[in-house]
Structure 1
Amino acid sequence: MPLMPVTESMFLLGESREHPLHVGGLQLFELPDGAGPDYVGELHRALLDTDDIHPLLRRRPRDPVGSLGQWMWTDDDRLDLEYHVRLSALPTPGRVRELLELVSRLHGSLLDRHRPLWEAHLVEGLRDNRFALYTKVHHALLDGVSALRLLQRSLTTDPTVRDTRPPWAAREDEPRGPRSRTGVGAVLRDIAGLGPALAKYANEVFRAQTATLPFAAPRSILNVPITGARRFAAQGWPLARVRAVGDAAGATVNDVMLAMCAGALRRYLLELDALPEKPLVAAVPMSLRTGDDSAGGNALGMILCTLATDRPDPADRLAAITESTRSDKDVYRGMSQLQVTALSAIPFAPLALGLLPGAVRLTPPGFNLMISNVPGPTEPLYWNGARMLGVYPVSIPYEGQALNITVTSYNGSLEFGLTGCRRTVPHLQRLLTHLDTELADLERAI
């Protein structure tokens, strides 16, 4: 296979035991009518009968995994599906709390580089007639958008369809060979345009200061060395409530989501007597994909956005966030995907430096945390007759970035997934309560 793009190899090069670099997802399902007590076990056995695996999920780093394996892919022709697809059961009483504890443990373990870099865990024993599926895949293979699209291929809007084809199965209508690459001429034009693009970036960000400055984020308790153990919390809120706030304030759903996070973080840090005087800054990834692309890889840009956590009024915070996101997006207007990706690397520099011993304590944070929003399905979906009740993203805290908030939408709900370093971010569950309070405060303030 060809050399990995740098956007893929960097996730293998930057990984260590303290810094797992895989993304995940938790899907919650309701058992279909008439399902017997062994429904999940039977589903697991049926999934193991799948022998035609999506080409992307047959990839593993080429041997030796410690050197060339970080630069080249190879196909695994001895894929052991029983290793990758596992069945787990929750302890009594089978609450969501026990499910989140299980996901927290599973998300903290590294993927085996001698095998294709993904796992799927069916989880039974969840009360109220439910079961769950937790999947994780290395960020070198998929970003959040392509991972969600891969999941959707196995779901249907028809509850009567009984199809156990899993997300990792190949489809007949998919190309088997490598997709065509961007033409050399187009790449050369993009590279030639990097100079003007960098000049525009510098003018907007540093001279005119119409966008959020890189490395202007304050130090906080979130910007410290982290461990590999994880804690995960998740909850959803009605999208209609979030949209109504945005309509009243002239803001987008994404702006209101960021304002919810900003207010929740302000309350959380005040409780810990750890709120910086300067406002926190969030890195907000932007998907650069077009069309229905589930080919894998990574196609991301990033803006920096103030969270205005120095402002006590929710309406003022939302106004500041809305202005910040508009200004930051304007910086990249008219640029190509390659140019946006290259310039987005500037505020990521501290993450690379953070791999050096002691660097996190010496270098200023490029931002305080990452907050992502991945659009999801708008209709209720089913898998083998089981209705999907919710889908919650499980993402990556980086060195010096102890908390990650990723959000997706599903069937009229905005689903929040909070992933934190288990040792560094105490009482992570409290942030869910603060998110709920902040949405109510925004409704009253707007």
Structure 2
Amino acid sequence: MTFIPPLDAMFLASETREHPMHVGGLHIFRLPEGAPDDYVQTLHQRLLACTELAPMYRRKPARPGPVLGALGWTDDEDVDLEYHVRLSALPRPGRVRELLALVSRLHGSLLDRHRPLWEFHLIEGLDHNRFAVYVKVHHALTDGVNAVRNTLRMLSPAPTGELRALWSPGPRPTLPLDTPAGATAPLARAGALARNLAGVLPTVAGVAIKGIRNPDAALPFTAPKTVLNRPLTGARRFAAQSWSIGRIKLVAKRYDVTLNDVVLAMCSGALREHLIAEGDLPAKSLVAAVPVALPRSDGDGNAVTMVLCRLASDLADPVERLARIRASMVAAKETMHGRTPLQLSMIGMLTSIGPSGVNSIPGFSATAPPPYNVVVSNVPGPRDRLFWQDAELEGWYPVSMPIEGQSLNITVLSYGDNLEFGLIGCRRNVAHLQRLLGHLEDSLAALEAGEPAA
């Protein structure tokens, strides 16, 4: 049995029917020229013959229960690929609307803890000569960056005709290039750990002090309650759309901010319009949790922390809103500057990950303010156009997860010349998720039409 690290274990221990703890991706491919009618069915059969699995795709909880199951992994030596690799079809001609509805249903069901915690769905019948792949993997096994790296193993920058399965073994992970020489020696590890631990308390104290003194900084449990922060049900609703990176970069350059600042401003403007329509816009600014990737030494599990950002949703002017978001992210980055991965993890435990765990205690979220209102994540992806065998990958949309007290998650993935937005929400609490896509476009257009401050 392999011990499960604490952060990964949290995703297993906190999972219930109302809180599925898996993440995924929706990939849309264009069929190659002259592809036969049974192309996807044949592809399914060929995938079932890929019986060599990477270790992550054999892992299952040593015990299936939510608490005991979070203690250790065991390997399944007889993985049933026909269970994990599934073929579905949309009524022809299947529209993107029907595809998103299918993904919404699939994403709302729990993974079977008696089996390795992943599913791979081939979906045929999509219009305009396309098919789709929807994948979901338990968050205890992977984070967003790791999921992208794993997916890249099955793709190539040009048509090859070679079939690579997602679960097939890939190149052995290597240590990061910036790993200090000798850091793998036991004494070096012990010394580094001692220095890290010595810096934890000053780090935590510094975050709290800066959060109190700096009006642009955000602290947990200072966010207002909204319709986005009601208890979850298990059903999900998914929406997705692409925006040109070029458009967003022009806005970033115009206002001298980062691309991620513009993404946060788009989300802030969209949420503001959504809450106005719901009659629920609070006087205080919404607060977003923004995941930040940490250096990693292997390809499995989670290496991520989170910082908090004020979204300035209380401001009507989009340019002023962007400026306040920029200031809040600068405050968060100053808190992180010069910290070790362990200290950065402690920042996340203090500001967002730990409060999220507390918020999942039954009855707590009904009386306390939310630790934050929404998660907005920006995951780096490949800039080159990619292929699977000879089918071109047209779109790659992240499918993340809402958590208790936060009914909406917005995750963005860069692919080619686009930013691919994936919105996943509680079906009851965010009833008009598709409209948020229109609000995102309106928010970007308002920034394009605005004028930078003198």
Please give the range of the TM-score, normalised by the shorter of the 2 chains.
over 0.9
Which SS does the other structure have where 2:396 is aligned?
strand
CA distance in structure 2 between the partners assigned to 1:185 and 1:120 by the alignment: 43
Q: TM-score scaled to structure 2, two decimals? A: 0.94
Tell me the equivalent position of 1:224.
Answer: 230
Instruction: After TM superposition, give the deviation of residue 356 of structure 1 in Å.
Output: 2.5
Q: Does 1:189 align with 2:195?
A: yes
CA distance in structure 2 between the partners assigned to 1:130 and 1:184 by the alignment: 53
The 3 A distance-change label for structure 1 pair 47 and 4 is same
Report the AA paired with residue 368 of structure 2.
Answer: T
**Is the Cα contact below 8 Å between 2:156 and 2:387 reproduced in 1?**
yes
Report the AA paired with residue 143 of structure 1.
Answer: D
Q: Deviations over 1:49-100 (max 9, x none)?
A: 0111011111111035444321111111011111111000012430000000
Tell me the equivalent position of 1:28.
Answer: 28
Which SS does the other structure have where 2:137 is aligned?
strand
Moved more, 344-353 or 117-126: 344-353
Q: Does 1:424 align with 2:424?
A: no
**Is the Cα contact below 8 Å between 2:244 and 2:418 reproduced in 1?**
yes
Instruction: Describe how 1:300-315 pairs up with structure 2 within 5 A.
Output: 300-315=304-319
Tell me the equivalent position of 1:167.
Answer: 166
Identical aligned pairs, as a percentage? Answer: 52
The 3 A distance-change label for structure 1 pair 311 and 209 is closer
CA distance in structure 2 between the partners assigned to 1:175 and 1:380 by the alignment: 24
**Is the Cα contact below 8 Å between 1:350 and 1:360 reproduced in 2?**
no
Which of 435, 442, 445 matches 2:447? 442
Q: Does 1:114 align with 2:119?
A: no
**Is the Cα contact below 8 Å between 1:216 and 1:367 reproduced in 2?**
yes
Instruction: Describe how 1:313-328 pairs up with structure 2 within 5 A.
Output: 313-328=317-332
Moved more, 206-215 or 278-287: 206-215
CA distance in structure 1 between the partners assigned to 2:166 and 2:239 by the alignment: 24
**Is the Cα contact below 8 Å between 1:27 and 1:390 reproduced in 2?**
yes
Instruction: Describe how 1:322-341 pairs up with structure 2 within 5 A.
Output: 322-341=326-345
Report the AA paired with residue 314 of structure 1.
Answer: P
Tell me the equivalent position of 1:245.
Answer: 251
Report the AA paired with residue 169 of structure 1.
Answer: S
Instruction: Describe how 1:25-424 pairs up with structure 2 within 5 A.
Output: 25-63=25-63, 65-159=65-159, 161-171=160-170, 173-174=171-172, 183-209=189-215, 211-289=217-295, 295-348=299-352, 349-424=354-429
The 3 A distance-change label for structure 1 pair 66 and 442 is closer
**Is the Cα contact below 8 Å between 2:360 and 2:405 reproduced in 1?**
no
After the TM superposition, which segments of 4 or more aligned residues of structure 1 sit over 4 Å from their partners?
A: none
Q: CA RMSD in A?
A: 1.6
Report the AA paired with residue 61 of structure 1.
Answer: P
Which SS does the other structure have where 1:429 is aligned?
helix
CA distance in structure 2 between the partners assigned to 1:441 and 1:277 by the alignment: 21
The 3 A distance-change label for structure 1 pair 96 and 229 is same
Instruction: After TM superposition, give the deviation of residue 197 of structure 1 in Å.
Output: 1.2
Which SS does the other structure have where 1:275 is aligned?
coil
* Matched length: 439
Q: TM-score scaled to structure 1, two decimals? A: 0.95
Report the AA paired with residue 212 of structure 1.
Answer: A
Report the AA paired with residue 168 of structure 1.
Answer: W
Instruction: After TM superposition, give the deviation of residue 189 of structure 1 in Å.
Output: 2.4
**Is the Cα contact below 8 Å between 2:223 and 2:371 reproduced in 1?**
yes
Which SS does the other structure have where 1:43 is aligned?
helix
CA distance in structure 2 between the partners assigned to 1:315 and 1:131 by the alignment: 40
Which SS does the other structure have where 1:213 is aligned?
coil
Which SS does the other structure have where 1:305 is aligned?
strand
Moved more, 352-361 or 88-97: 352-361
CA distance in structure 2 between the partners assigned to 1:57 and 1:66 by the alignment: 20
Instruction: After TM superposition, give the deviation of residue 343 of structure 1 in Å.
Output: 1.9
Q: Deviations over 1:359-384 (max 9, x none)?
A: 11111111000000001110100001
Report the AA paired with residue 328 of structure 1.
Answer: A
